Amino acid sequence: MVSASKGDLNSVYTEQRRNPRFPFVAVAEITEKESGGELVTQVSELSVNGCYVDEQNPFPSGTLVKLKIFSESEVFDAAAKVLYAHPNLGMGLVFQEVSLHSGAVLREWLLAAKALEEKSHS
């Protein structure tokens, strides 16, 4: 286990990711559960457990949100939590509740993103 002070928790999360993230660009709609505040932004990275979204004014760490990601003809829908926020850059979200349909959409997107990444490295 890596020990960390509160100030470098973001680097711990980055170093201890369970699954790889892949570059993935799509429109995201994020609604804060408590207030109903909504952001329309862009996903820049995607993994089986979460995603990173670009946002100038991210929700604070710990905020519970409803997430919708739109790509081509598919929509991924999940309950999520803000794991960390980078002011003026974006936020990392961890998926909490994913339906069977959204899980299938996510797997399809990740397979395509992985294939694209492998193709770009060959």
Taking alpha carbons only, the member of 83, 84, 78 closest to residue 96 is 78
**pLDDT class for 12, splitting at 50, 70, 90?**
very low
Q: How far is CA 75 from CA 7, 28, 35, 69, 99, in A?
A: 35, 10, 23, 6, 12
**CATH (residue range 14-120):** 2.40.10.220
pLDDT the model gives residue 16: 52
**pLDDT class for 17, splitting at 50, 70, 90?**
low
Please give the distance of CA 115 from its chain centroid, rounded to a whole number: 19
Extract the runs of DSSP E, i.e. beta strands, from 19-112.
Answer: 22-32, 38-46, 50-54, 64-71, 74-86, 90-98
Contact 64, 81 (CB under 8 A): yes
Q: What is the pLDDT of residues 46-96, one digit of tens each?
A: 999 999 999 999 999 999 999 999 998 899 999 999 999 999 999 999 999
Residue predicted with more confidence, 95 or 1: 95
